[in-house]
Amino acid sequence: MTPDEAKRILADADLIHSAAEVTGAIDRLATEITTHLEGAHPLVLTVMGGGIIFAGQLLPCLPFPLEHDYVHVTRYGASTAGGELTWVVEPRTAVVGRVVLVLDDILDEGITLAAIKARLMAQGARECLVAVLAEKELGRAKPIRPDFVGLRLPNRYVFGCGMDVDGAWRNLPAIYALAGR
């Protein structure tokens, strides 16, 4: 995608959640997560690449000791439709006996996050919690329910705050939906 194409997509997009709404949701999540995990010394795993923006905003708001690592699991690649699950990077930190908190940008269909949680539990995590900046409301059951949700999204193709459209606009501070989708 060219820079001009990306600019046209943003110009035509619908604002779903403003930057202020995103910041408010992250502050609320930090409070909820702190209440639940402040004495647990958790291992926090960020799901790359979309989860990096969310993690970068959330982690400084957590006032307790934690360890951080990441996983890279994808079903999308450069596509806008999910495909086969690919494990690019597993956590380097052992999860055996640990309380693990997985951070991701969005819970869409839930297939990727369900697979991550199942794998971490199979590797011996004592508990695996999931926090997402946003959950898309699909109107049907998903294979996983997040423990912490910042914002609800309509069933549209969204971007910003870690979510991309053809590789662009992960860096936006607000969440948008493609026009007509």
| More confident of the two residues 82 and 41 | 41
CA nearest neighbour of 100 among 85, 116, 115: 116
pLDDT at 91: 92
pLDDT at 49: 87
The yes-or-no answer on residue 108 being catalytic is yes
Residues paired with residue 153 on neighbouring β-strands, in sequence order: 136
CATH number of the domain residue 34 falls in: 3.40.50.2020
* Domain assignment of residue 7, given as a range: 3-177
125-146 average pLDDT score: 96
Q: Is the peptide bond before 167 cis (omega within 30 degrees of 0)?
A: no
For the stretch 38-41, contacts whose Cβ atoms lie closer than 8 Å and that sit 24 or more positions apart, written own/partner, are 38/63, 38/64, 39/64, 40/99, 41/65, 41/66, 41/67, 41/99
First and final C-alpha spacing in the chain: 18
pLDDT single digits (tens) 66-109: 999 999 987 755 545 556 788 899 999 999 999 999 999 999 99
From residue 152, give the alpha-carbon distance in Å to each of 21, 76, 138, 158: 11, 21, 10, 12
Q: Is the pLDDT of residue 52 over 90?
A: yes
pLDDT at 1: 86
User: What are residue 36's phi and psi, to 5 degrees?
Assistant: -85, -35
Q: What percent of the chain has pLDDT over 90?
A: 87
Q: Is the pLDDT of residue 139 over 90?
A: no
pLDDT at 85: 82
CB 72 within 8 A of CB 101: no
142-150 average pLDDT score: 97
Apex CA 113: angle with CA 111 and CA 114, to 5°?
65
pLDDT at 81: 53
User: What are residue 14's phi and psi, to 5 degrees?
Assistant: -100, 130
Average of per-residue pLDDT values in the chain: 93
Q: What percent of the chain has pLDDT over 70?
A: 95
pLDDT at 29: 98
Choose, from 104, 105, 108, 164, the residue flagged as catalytic.
108
Number of domains in the chain: 1
pLDDT at 86: 84
